[in-house]
């Protein structure tokens, strides 16, 4: 259950990052509230996961999901660069997160 909570924390982290971009563009209360909700849920699920998963592992995986997921969503939604080098490094972050799961 802790690993599922950690994955959900990463997904809400990605959502929060999307809402930062939306707030920057729209500057409205709805975007701000969604940003707070996304990061709030992310921290709640991260805190739950860290009751079982060691802090270093949980934090590394959480930031890996958030960073790589945010980059991927940026490519899909905001048409950011899809350069092959960028994709390779995103894949490396994801592989590192999976590696941490396998050895934890």
Segment 6-52, tens digit of pLDDT:
999 999 999 999 999 999 999 999 999 999 999 999 999 999 999 99
Query: In the prediction, which pLDDT does 42 show?
Result: 98
For 86, residues 6+ apart whose C-beta sits below 8 A from its C-beta are: 71, 75
Query: In the prediction, which pLDDT does 100 show?
Result: 86
Query: What is this structure's pTM?
Result: 0.88
For 77, residues 6+ apart whose C-beta sits below 8 A from its C-beta are: 18
Count up the domains in the chain and report the number: 1
Share of the chain above pLDDT 70, in %: 100
Owning domain of residue 71: 1-103
């Amino acid at each position: 259950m802790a690993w599922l909570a950690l994955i959900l924390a990463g997904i809400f982290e990605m959502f929060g990052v999307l809402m930062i971009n939306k707030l920057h563009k729209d500057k409205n209360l709805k975007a701000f509230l969604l940003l707070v909700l996304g990061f709030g849920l992310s921290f709640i699920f991260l805190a739950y996961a860290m009751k079982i998963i060691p802090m270093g592992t949980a934090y590394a995986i959480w930031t890996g999901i958030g960073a790589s997921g945010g980059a991927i969503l940026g490519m899909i939604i905001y048409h950011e660069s899809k350069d092959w080098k960028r994709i390779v490094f995103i894949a490396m972050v994801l592989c590192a997160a999976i590696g941490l799961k396998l050895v934890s």
